């Protein structure tokens, strides 16, 4: 009821243990706090907090317009709604290495279990679009060193994302991934990998967990979870998928109102009131009525 019963520290410990366990962890992107609860009830291992979703939610393109304050607020709202560890997209860290340090502490305070910082130039763009640019290795490493030094909880997972594959090719991605690990990255997010063999090559190059981004309409084929597990991927995100599904359903519903004058034909597809209340744990709130607010005003109600 109300929010997660676990502390952020406990969730970070759990994420570390799960990653050490060797299996593939599945992190769908929550498009709002409530959807994080849905992800948890379905039995997933974690929740992703996407920069693209946050931007889209605000009606903005994903080009570095959102601020640290907005990302932190969203991270806090989502993280407190689930016992699962959350991984947040910290884009480029919102500035220079000193800004990265502040970003890490702010997101740590927001209760996330991990975050990723990428090596794109500012302003960044979606990793699956053409024409993006990356910073030089020295700058990329400084961001990661600053992130690692800034965290106060050693279990906060600092993941380095590299976008270099689409710019300079796989060999450059391998070199950069190794350098990022040497700089202290706990995990690597190789963005826009083309094939399973490319994931395999990154896997062979580093000895930390690696992430696969199964975003739709991007540069990677949508590999199945078992295929990714087979090439040694440790964590898979479906970052924007739930938002895309929800927006697709919303559009179909609006069209139905226009065409049919009512939503009767769509009701079977809707989350029911009972399902919503179960997800909200509505029942548990009765406890306040019956258990806590059972005092009497004892004649002092005038």
Ligand X SMILES: C[C@](O)(C(=O)O)[C@H](CC(=O)O)C(=O)O
- In the complex with Mg ion, which residue's Cβ is closer, 38 or 53? 53
Residue nearest to Mg ion (CB): 51
CA 154 to chain centroid, in Å, comes to 20
The 234-253 site mask, x for binding ligand X (CB under 6 A), equals -----xx-------------
Quick check: is 3 catalytic? no
Q: What is the dihedral of CA 28, 30, 33, 36, to 10 degrees?
A: -10
- Distance CA(73)–CA(161), nearest Å, equals 22
- The length of the chain in residues reads 302
- Distance CA(59)–CA(49), nearest Å, equals 17
Q: What is the DSSP letter of 119?
A: -
- In the complex with Mg ion, which residue's Cβ is closer, 130 or 226? 130
Set 191, 203, 234, 244: catalytic member: 191
- Answer yes or no whether residue 85 interacts with Mg ion by CB under 5 A: no
| Residue 177 tokens, joined | 């991934």
CB of 213: closest distance to ligand X in angstroms? 5
- Answer yes or no whether residue 89 interacts with ligand X by CB under 6 A: yes
Single residue of 18, 40, 45, 89 touching Mg ion by CB under 5 A = 89
Single residue of 215, 220, 234, 241 touching ligand X by CB under 6 A = 215
Quick check: is 26 catalytic? no
Set 143, 151, 161, 203: catalytic member: 161
H-assigned helices in the chain: 8-20, 33-41, 51-57, 68-79, 97-109, 137-150, 165-168, 170-182, 196-205, 225-230, 241-260, 273-280, 286-287
Quick check: is 191 catalytic? yes
Q: Which does 76 bind (CB under 5 to 8 A by kind): ligand X, Mg ion, none?
A: none
- Distance CA(214)–CA(118), nearest Å, equals 17
CB of 1: closest distance to Mg ion in angstroms? 32
How many alpha carbons fall within 13 Å on the CB side of residue 282? 7
- In the complex with ligand X, which residue's Cβ is closer, 10 or 56? 56
CB of 240: closest distance to Mg ion in angstroms? 9
Quick check: is 89 catalytic? yes
Quick check: is 83 catalytic? no
Q: How many CB atoms lie within 10 A of CB 132?
A: 19
Residues that bind Mg ion (CB under 5 A): 51-52, 89
Q: Looking at the annotation, which residues are catalytic?
A: 48, 62, 89, 91, 116, 118, 126, 161, 191, 213
Residues that bind ligand X (CB under 6 A): 50-52, 62, 89, 126-128, 213, 215, 218, 239-240
């Amino acid at each position: 009821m109300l929010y997660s019963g676990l502390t952020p520290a406990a969730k970070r410990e759990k994420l570390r243990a799960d990653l050490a366990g060797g299996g593939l962890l599945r992190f769908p992107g929550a498009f709002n706090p409530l959807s994080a609860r849905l992800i948890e009830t379905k039995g997933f291992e974690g929740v992703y907090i996407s920069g693209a979703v946050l931007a889209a939610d605000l009606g903005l393109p994903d080009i570095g317009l959102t601020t640290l304050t907005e990302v932190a607020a969203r991270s806090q709202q989502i993280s407190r709604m689930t016992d699962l560890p959350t991984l947040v997209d910290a884009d480029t860290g919102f500035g220079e290495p000193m800004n990265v340090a502040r970003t890490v502490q702010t997101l740590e305070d927001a209760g996330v279990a991990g975050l990723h910082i990428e090596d794109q130039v500012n302003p960044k763009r979606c990793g699956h679009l053409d024409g993006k640019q990356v910073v030089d290795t020295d700058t990329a490493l400084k961001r990661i060193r600053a992130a690692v030094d800034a965290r106060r909880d050693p279990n906060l997972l600092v993941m380095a994302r590299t976008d270099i594959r689409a710019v300079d090719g796989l060999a450059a991605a391998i070199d950069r991934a190794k350098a990022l690990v040497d700089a202290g990255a706990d995990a690597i997010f190789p963005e826009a990998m083309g094939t399973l063999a490319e994931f395999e090559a990154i896997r062979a190059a580093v000895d930390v967990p690696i992430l696969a981004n199964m975003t739709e309409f991007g540069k990677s084929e949508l590999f199945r979870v078992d295929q990714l597990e087979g090439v040694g991927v440790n964590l898979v995100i479906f970052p924007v998928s739930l938002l895309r599904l929800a927006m697709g359903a919303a559009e179909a519903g609006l069209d139905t109102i226009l065409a049919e004058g009512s939503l009767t034909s769509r009701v079977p597809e809707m989350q029911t009131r009972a399902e919503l209340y179960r997800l909200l744990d509505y029942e548990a709130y009765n406890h306040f009525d019956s258990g806590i607010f059972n005092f009497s005003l004892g004649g002092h109600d005038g």
